[in-house]
């Protein structure tokens, strides 16, 4: 395992060296920062980690519209474009020979121009502070910085530190509970109709996402608001309640009606248990009556021997 890790790291470092040499010949590339596991000291990259690079350029469209430039770093096997996690910009994802996966998030220089005039986090809009903390708070490795802006960003981020997620308000808590219960019924109806793809997508994606949110709130309500629940479920196996983790094993379904029924019931049971714990710890109301009626209807629906035809 150690040899594999060392070999993979060497290959990625070679790719980074090739990028820096190439970027220094391109006047339009002003900043490049490595983020994610290959810039972290806490839970650093292992042999399975990809390479996340944030590329700031005066000509972002060039790197979105063309892919020839990716061959400057290595031999690409495939490449495609998708939105960044915030949906604001685009990123080009590339799989290089050796199964080296690289994510080039492409940003216009206008996105960082504000930083040239900022001396402390207090001058940054609050929504931007959270975005900076989420993106750079766990580590950043500057590899191209032609205007000195990235080093300034590094200083600002060190003052901001890692993001501290807030516990939900009662309205936010109720919103997630009601969303989960509504889509539990929605799932059951589609499964009974025979639309397994839609029903299972809801169980394995939407309901799982809402369950993840409740598990995060449970962890922070139990251990304090500064308890680290990472981002979008990363390392959930490390920070979630052990009993919750054990019960998660039945909450994801395979592609058949029986499995859908088992996973939906397991998800509903675990969500209820987790949400009740959060409600108790935060002194919030839980919609017990609505939960009871939804659960009874759903269980009766899925245990019946005939398919409903309601739309």
| DSSP-assigned letter for residue 27 | T
Is the CB of residue 91 less than 8 Å from the CB of residue 36?
A: no
User: What six digits make up the tokens of 44?
Assistant: 């650093």
Question: What is the assigned CATH class of domain 170-303?
Answer: mainly alpha
Model pLDDT, residue 40:
81
What is the CATH class of 2-160?
Answer: alpha beta
pLDDT number for residue 4: 45
Q: List every span in the chain annotated with CATH 3.30.460.10.
A: 2-160
Rounded distance between C-alpha atoms, residue 281 and residue 197, angstroms: 37
pLDDT at 126: 63
Tens-digit pLDDT string for the chain (311 aa): 444 446 888 999 999 999 999 999 999 999 999 988 888 877 777 888 899 999 999 999 999 999 999 999 999 999 999 998 776 789 999 999 999 999 999 999 987 776 666 666 666 666 666 667 667 777 789 999 998 888 878 877 777 666 667 799 999 999 999 999 999 999 999 999 899 999 999 999 999 999 999 999 999 999 988 888 877 778 788 888 899 989 898 999 999 999 999 999 999 999 999 999 999 999 999 999 999 999 999 999 888 744 443 33
Using CA atoms, how far residue 180 sits from 209, 216, 247, 250, 271, in Å, is 9, 15, 17, 17, 8
Beta bridge partners of 90: 83, 106
Task: Tell me what pLDDT residue 54 has.
Answer: 92
For residue 20, the cross-strand partners are none
pLDDT of the residue at 272:
97
4 SS3 class: helix
Give the per-residue pLDDT at 306.
44
Domain with CATH 1.20.120.330 in the chain: 170-303
């Amino acid at each position: 395992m150690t040899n594999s890790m060392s070999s993979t790291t060497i290959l990625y470092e070679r790719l980074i060296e090739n990028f820096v040499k190439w970027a220094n010949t391109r006047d339009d590339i002003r900043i490049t920062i490595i983020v994610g596991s290959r810039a972290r000291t806490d839970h650093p990259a292992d042999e399975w980690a990809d390479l996340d690079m944030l590329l700031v350029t005066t000509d972002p469209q060039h790197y979105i519209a063309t892919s020839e430039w990716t061959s400057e770093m290595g031999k690409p096997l495939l490449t495609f474009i998708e939105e960044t996690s915030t949906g604001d910009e685009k990123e080009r994802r590339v799989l290089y020979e050796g199964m080296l996966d690289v994510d080039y998030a492409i940003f216009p220089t206008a996105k960082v121009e504000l930083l040239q005039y900022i001396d402390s986090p207090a001058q940054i809009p609050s929504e931007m502070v959270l975005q900076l903390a989420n993106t750079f708070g766990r580590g950043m490795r500057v590899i191209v910085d032609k205007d000195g802006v990235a080093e300034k960003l590094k200083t600002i981020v060190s003052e901001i530190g890692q993001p501290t997620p807030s516990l939900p308000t009662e309205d936010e808590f109720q919103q997630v509970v009601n969303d989960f219960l509504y889509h539990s019924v929605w799932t059951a109806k589609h499964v009974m109709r025979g639309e397994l793809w839609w029903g299972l997508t809801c169980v394995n994606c939407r309901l799982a996402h809402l369950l993840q949110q409740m598990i995060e709130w449970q962890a922070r309500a139990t251990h304090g608001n500064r308890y680290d629940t990472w981002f979008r479920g990363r390392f959930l196996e490390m920070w979630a309640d052990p009993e919750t983790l054990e019960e998660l094993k039945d909450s994801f379904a395979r592609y058949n009606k029986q499995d859908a029924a088992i996973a939906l019931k397991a998800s509903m049971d675990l969500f209820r248990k987790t949400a009740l714990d959060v409600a108790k710890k935060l002194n919030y109301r839980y919609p017990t009556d609505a939960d009871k009626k939804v659960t009874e209807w759903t269980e009766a629906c899925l245990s019946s021997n005939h398919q409903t035809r309601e739309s």
